[in-house]
Amino acid sequence: TIAYLNGEYLPLEDARISPLDRGFLYGDGIYEVIPTYNGRFVGFNAHMARMRAGLDALQIRDGLTADVWKTILDRLISENKQQMPDANIGLYLHVSRGADIRRHHAFPEGIPPTVFAYAFPFPAPQPETRAEAVGLQVDLAEDLRWQRCNIKSTSLLGNIMHYQQGHQRGLQETLLYNRDGEITEASSSNVFVVKNKQIMTPPLDHQLLSGITRMLLIESLASQGVEVLQQPISREALLAADEVWLTSSSKEVAPVTEVGGKTIGKGDVGACWQMAIQAYHTNKFIL
C-alpha cells in the first residue's frame, strides 16, 4: 500500500510520525473515510465540508484545500488500484495537530499539522451480496460519549467501547440513547426508524455525527418524493418501529432486525428498506 504523509507518497510500512504527535498522545485530530467505486467518490464535497468544520472547531490550520485533497486521493487510488482489483477503495484522511515537545493542554501555536491518508479495500456495494442485507442484530445502551459528537474526532474511545460491548455479545453494532431516552446514533452509524411508512431520523445536533450517508439517503429519498422527518425518537418508539436502518459509508443503508434483544417489526428486512436502498444506489453519486 502506498500512503500519503506530510507531502510524500511512500509505502505504508515506511510512514513514520513522532511519538509526540498530539494525535497519538491526545487524540487531537480529525479524520474522514470516503468510499470510492471505480474511482468515483461518494459525497466528496460533503466529506470535505465536514472535515473543514471539524478542523475549524479545533483551530487546526492545515491549509489543504479540497482541490489539493482531490489530487492526493486520486494519486492514492492510481498507486493502489492494482492491489485492490475489485475497484472499490476506501480512503482514510487524517489531520492531527502535530508534534509538540511541551505537554500542555492549550493548542500550541505554529507547529505543522500531521497530514496522513491511505487507501484500503472497501466492501462491495451490492446489497444482496452483503451480510448487512439480511439484517443486523444490535445492542442498545445509554450514550456515554462526550457532548461534541458532531466533531469527527480521532478520539474514538467512547465509540469503540460502545461497539465492543455489543461485539462481545455477538452483535454487530450498539445503538445509543441519551439521558432523556432519545436515540442519538450508533457507535459508528446513524439511525433511521420507520413507523406506518413514515421514515424518521434524529435531528442533527452536538449529540451525533452529521453522517454523509444519512444526508445522501435523505436527499435520495427526497428526489423520489419520499420525505424523512428529522425529529427526536424515543427508545420506546425505536423498539416499537416497523423497521430500523443504520447508515454509514461502509454499511450504506443496513436493515436492523433486532435491537437489545427485541425483534423489530416482523424480524425481517422491510419493504421500505428495499425502496430506500434502491433510491440510495441510484443517487449516491449526486453530490
Instruction: List residues with catalytic annotation.
Output: 152
| C-alpha to C-alpha distance for 141 and 43, rounded to whole angstroms | 30
Long-range own/partner contacts, residues 271-276 (CB < 8 A, 24 or more apart) = 272/194, 272/197, 272/199, 272/242, 272/243, 273/194, 273/243, 273/245, 275/226, 276/192, 276/199, 276/217, 276/220, 276/221, 276/226, 276/245
Three-class SS state of 211: coil
**Shortest Cβ 82–ligand PLP spacing (Å):** 26
Judge whether 249 and 213 are in contact, CB under 8 Å: yes
Q: 14 vs 205, which CB is nearer to ligand PLP?
A: 205
Q: 108 vs 125, which CB is nearer to ligand PLP?
A: 125
Question: What cell was used for 71?
Answer: 489530487
Q: 133 vs 218, which CB is nearer to ligand PLP?
A: 218
- Which residues of the chain form contacts with ligand PLP (CB under 6 A)? 159, 185, 188-190, 209, 211-214, 247-249
**Shortest Cβ 283–ligand PLP spacing (Å):** 14
Element (H, E) at 129: none
**Shortest Cβ 190–ligand PLP spacing (Å):** 5
Q: 10 vs 131, which CB is nearer to ligand PLP?
A: 131
CA angle 237, 241, 242 (to 5 degrees): 165
Of 282, 267, 171, 265, the C-alpha closest to 226 is 282
Judge whether 243 and 229 are in contact, CB under 8 Å: no
Judge whether 111 and 231 are in contact, CB under 8 Å: no
**Shortest Cβ 248–ligand PLP spacing (Å):** 4
265: left (phi over 0), alpha (psi -120 to 50) or beta: left
**Shortest Cβ 11–ligand PLP spacing (Å):** 26
Q: 114 vs 248, which CB is nearer to ligand PLP?
A: 248
Dihedral sign from CA coordinates of 13, 17, 20, 22: negative
